Amino acid sequence: MGVDSDGQALAPRHVGIIMDGNGRWAEREGHERTYGHAHGRLPVRESIAGAIEAGVEVLTLYAFSTENWKRPQGEVDMLMELLAESLAEYSEELQEQGVALRTVGDLSRLPGSLQEGILRAVRETEGGRNLTLVVALNYGGRDEIVMAARELARACQAGRLEASAIDEGMFARALYTRGLPDVELMIRTSGEQRLSNFLLWQCAYAEFLFLPIFWPDFRKGDFLGAVEEFKRRNRRFGGV
């Protein structure tokens, strides 16, 4: 673990969250799956508050994956509407909290009105300095890596780049997350223990925490508890 000048354990610079279990939570409560998605907004607010309190620099939320298009069309439509509503609702709140919004993923497949709302919210919050909130939309880790490889291959083909010059740093700069630190703590709710194609490159040395609660039940205390667990771990990065 890292420590500051006073010997106190440092919070992770970048936390990722796989917000899992909305549908199962709703079914447990006797409702349709979409009911769970609607109740996933409060945990987002709680996580943002926890990240700011803990001194986390970047919080990345897995909101919609490239695989989520396989879900029933009604559920997909509801998720798109919910995202649009949340952006409109959160923008002013994020500005007040000093949170800068950023997205990762291929936005081109999203509804045009949602794309416009995303770009507007990103512009309106760009001055935030307390936290960078990254929302993964139509995102897949493998797709991101392939995209970066193609970009570098085109540069080589055009004569702008020598293949021998490509290193990890250059490859990282071709990813959606360019300029952001690697993930240090990855949290997944619902008890499932897998990455589900999320930030594969960026999680090379991440610590993982799998919580047995569904996302709608996640609160700031759970986030802060995860940060404290991270601080207790000994990160050796292949050393001893």
Take residue 132 and report the two structure tokens written for it. 């960078």
**Predicted model pTM:** 0.94
pLDDT band at 1 (very low <50, low <70, confident <90, very high): low
d(Cα 215, Cα 6) in Å, to the nearest integer?
35
d(Cα 214, Cα 23) in Å, to the nearest integer?
9
Contact 197/66 with Cβ under 8 angstroms?
yes
78-87: average pLDDT = 92
Residue 170 has pLDDT above 60, yes or no: yes
In the chain, where the domains are located: 14-139+176-232, 140-175
Catalytic residue among 4, 22, 68, 77: 68
Distance of CA 115 to the CA centre of its chain: 18
d(Cα 158, Cα 189) in Å, to the nearest integer?
45
Residue 7 has pLDDT above 70, yes or no: no
d(Cα 26, Cα 38) in Å, to the nearest integer?
10
Contact 18/43 with Cβ under 8 angstroms?
no
Q: Would you tell me how many other CB atoms lie within 10 Å of the CB of residue 129?
A: 8
Catalytic residue among 4, 6, 20, 77: 20
d(Cα 39, Cα 19) in Å, to the nearest integer?
12
188-205: average pLDDT = 98
CA distances to 179, 196, 203, 209 from 106, in Å: 18, 17, 20, 27
CATH number for region 14-139+176-232? 3.40.1180.10
Contact 188/218 with Cβ under 8 angstroms?
no
Span 109-163, pLDDT tens digits: 999 999 999 999 999 999 999 999 999 999 999 999 999 999 999 999 999 999 9
d(Cα 126, Cα 124) in Å, to the nearest integer?
6
H or E segment and range at residue 17? strand 14-18
- 68 included as an active-site residue: yes
Q: Which one has a higher pLDDT value, 238 or 173? A: 173
194-221: average pLDDT = 98
pLDDT of residue 16: 99
pLDDT of residue 2: 62
- 106 included as an active-site residue: no
Residue 239 has pLDDT above 80, yes or no: no
pLDDT of residue 79: 94
pLDDT of residue 235: 76
pLDDT of residue 3: 57
pLDDT of residue 88: 84
